[in-house]
Amino acid sequence: MKNNTLEIPSSTDFFTSDQLLNNVGTPFIIGLAIGYFAKKMLLLCLLLCGAAIVILFISEYYEITQINYEKLEHAVEPATSLIKQYKDFLIAHLLNFPTKGISATTGFFLGFKLG
């Protein structure tokens, strides 16, 4: 009698540890690192901008300078739009990982949360 079992080659096994690491793990780690870095850089920029604004307020209090608050608001608007563009740029590049974009994007948001 002939054995009617179907043998599946091991190259089509998608759940091996090597396949999972390449398809899910590596893009996730890349996204995690990018998200963590992006959050730290955003916080550093906010710290420096906040310190500069506080120095302006102190210098106005001691009548060294005079602040035009409308111009201060207009100076901050381009920075906020730049941050939005930067976020969109990063997410668009992470989604370009073929079939791995969801893993990379999830890693990015988790890294951003952790950062």
Q: Identify which of 108, 96, 87, 98 has the alpha carbon closest to the alpha carbon of residue 33.
A: 108
Tokens linked to 38: 């992006």
Domain residue extents for the chain: 24-114
Which residues touch 84 (CB under 8 Å, ≥6 apart)?
A: none
- For residue 112, what are the contacts with CB-CB under 8 A and spacing of at least 6? 35, 36, 38, 39
pLDDT at residue 9, rounded to an integer: 53
Cα atoms found within 13 Å of the Cα of residue 23, Cβ hemisphere only: 9
User: Which pLDDT belongs to residue 37?
Assistant: 93
Q: pLDDT 10s per residue in the chain (115 long)?
A: 556 665 555 555 555 555 556 666 778 888 889 999 999 998 998 899 899 989 999 999 999 999 888 888 888 888 888 888 888 888 888 777 665 678 888 888 899 898 8
Residue that has been written with the tokens 């506080």 in this structure:
54
- Predicted TM-score of the model (pTM): 0.67
Phi, psi (5° rounding) for residue 12? Answer: -95, 5
Q: Give the per-residue pLDDT at 21.
A: 60
Q: What's the DSSP call for residue 8? A: P
Residues 57 and 74 sit within 8 Å (Cβ to Cβ): no
